[in-house]
Amino acid sequence: MDWQKLVDLLKGHVVYLQTHNFPDPDALASAYGMQVFLQAQGVKSTICYAGKIDKSSTKKMLEVFNINAVHIDDIPNMDEQDYIVTMDSQKYNSNITDFPGDEVAAIDHHPTMIPCTYKYSDIRICGSCCSIVTDYFIQSHTTLDVNTATVLLYGLKMDTDSFNRGVTDFDIEMFGYLHKIADNQKIINLYHNNMEIDDLHAYGEAIRNIQIYENVGFAAISFDCPDALVAMISDFILGLDVVEFAVVYAKRNGGYKFSVRNETQYYHAGTVTQEALKDLGGGGGHFSMAGGMITADKISFLGNNPEFAIRQRFLDVIKKTKAGIKKESEK
């Protein structure tokens, strides 16, 4: 990471900080943290996204921390001369729309699925993009105010499920720095009030439809629901004592949105998801968590029983992975 190189690159340009299409707390918090950091270096920026922010708890987060995230429809004058920094995502990912601006930089904590050349990139595999942004304040000796520290710590806690998922030593180090500055009571108030009454319908649907094959659990939701909720239900399914790999998916725009969780030492959630959804839309992510989608135009490829086809695709990849591990162990 070379924070000065990023600042020098962006100076003198119109700058947008683009999150993935349905931004979660980590995406919004890291984008806000980067906006504050850049402002301290004399670079103005605008947080933007496509899709929607569809959970009231996430909207409340924006209100509580005074974050202004602008939908692309409200930015009619963006052009190819403007600079874009993708936050918590990377260009060509299935969950980010190609905006008119030039994606000159990427700040992300996910593995790269489709290579892209940037003028600047900081892609580190860790639990939260907020951890990476926090490091910019530390390395540049930029003062971190209470509000920014609080939102970064909130995003860090949410994306790591309170340090139960995908956390690294780096995340713990960044937590220690943020914890001394942040308003922890505000985080507690937000963290324990992030489920809505309507969420229970999705949980009920998932529970009714759950199917388990050895240690792999599948749950389908027949209606559209927020990405964050699909992820929460995926965590919930993984909490069952017989499930070590969870695949939850919900209908969206004629296709499906996926959230995948893994707690085995054998399977890589991102790799399995990418392979299972190959040629259908796309997917990828970390060892322990991943996301993906099947687009509406590819649904017909699943045949007359899409849910059976989806389960079979994931199980075939897992079986292939298991066979490869066995083969390696016998050498």
CA atoms in the 13 A half-sphere facing the CB of 182: 24
pLDDT computed for residue 305 by the predictor:
92
Q: How far is residue 169 from each of residues 137, 174, 306, measured CA to CA in Å?
A: 18, 9, 41
Spatial distance between the Cα atoms of 251 and 249, rounded to a whole number of angstroms: 7
Domains recognised in the chain with CATH numbers: 3-191 (3.90.1640.10), 199-329 (3.10.310.40)
Angle in degrees, CA 181, 186, 188, rounded to 5 = 105
User: What is the pLDDT, as a whole number, of residue 313?
Assistant: 95
The per-residue pLDDT for 69 is 97
Looking at residue 151, what is its pLDDT? Answer: 97
Phi and psi at 222, nearest 5°, equal -85, 5
Per-residue pLDDT of the chain (331 residues; tens, 9 = 90+): 899 999 999 999 999 999 999 899 999 999 999 999 999 999 999 999 998 887 777 888 999 999 999 999 999 999 999 999 999 999 988 789 999 999 999 999 988 888 899 999 999 999 999 999 999 999 999 999 999 999 999 999 988 888 878 899 999 999 999 999 999 899 888 877 667 777 888 999 999 999 999 899 999 999 988 887 898 899 899 989 999 999 999 998 889 999 999 999 888 999 999 999 988 988 888 888 888 999 999 999 999 999 999 999 999 999 988 777 666 665 5
- What is the rounded CA–CA span in Å between residue 102 and residue 200? 41
Q: Look at residue 137 in the predicted model and tell me its pLDDT.
A: 98
What is the predicted pLDDT for the residue at 331?
58
Q: Shortest CA distance to 160 belongs to which of 175, 144, 149?
A: 175
**CA 178 – CA 172 distance, rounded (Å):** 10
